Amino acid sequence: MPSFRIPGLVAALAIANMASADVTSVAPGGFVVEHEQIVRADRALVWDAAIADIGQWWNSAHTVAGDASRLSIDARPMGCFCETLPGDDGVVHLVVTSVSRGVMLRLTGGLGPLGLMGATGNMTWEFFDTEAGTRVKLMYAVGGYREGGFESIAGPVDSVLGEALSLLRAYVEAKSGNPDSD
């Protein structure tokens, strides 16, 4: 049986930046994180990259196999944000629960190690037209049981998702010929 990196996912979350202004709410039973980025590209391009190209921009350190190219999102109700593993193995990270193409994608479940903790959540990606391109808003509301509460994990989850949104922005802008100038 192949060696998977579940402990690596937990460690990556544990050592990520704990302080973030984007944790909008945290309590013993859950937390909410929110991120927004302006991506200098057309909304259709940003949507397509977020969904179809996730394996190109997601950080491989935040996968079970250590290889983001194994990630995929099937953007239809009951579709899967999945990771294929060697052989016929795999991981369902989240399940698609709502889709409005080009506008909103909602996924439900416990991303990464949250699924091992008795936690679940709703992750919503929203895409808005702006003069500068596309505003992408990512919100993840998590609740459930975690011994000791969620205060210590909210920051690391926030950091992983903030990084993901920044990586999406950089990927799309490079692909569309609008490299980040920040």
Q: What distances in angstroms separate CA 155 from CA 5, 42, 133, 144, one per listed residue?
A: 21, 31, 29, 17
Q: Please report the pLDDT score of residue 115 as a whole number.
A: 86
Which DSSP helix (H) or strand (E) runs through 157? helix 151-175
Average pLDDT over residues 167-181: 86
What CATH number belongs to 6-175? 3.30.530.20
CB contact at 8 A, 50 and 69: no
Query: How is the chain split into domains, by residue range?
Result: 6-175
DSSP assignments along 26-65, one per residue: EETTEEEEEEEEEESS-HHHHHHHHHHTHHHHS-GGGSSS
Residue whose token pair is 């702006």: 130
Could you tell me the pTM of the whole model? 0.86
Q: In this predicted model, what pLDDT tens digit does every residue of 48-78 receive, in sequence order?
A: 999 999 999 999 999 999 999 999 999 999 9
Q: Kindly report, residue by residue over 8-55, the tens digit of the pLDDT.
A: 444 444 333 333 347 899 999 999 999 999 999 999 999 999 999 999
How many helices (H) and strands (E) are present in the chain, helices listed first?
Answer: 4, 8
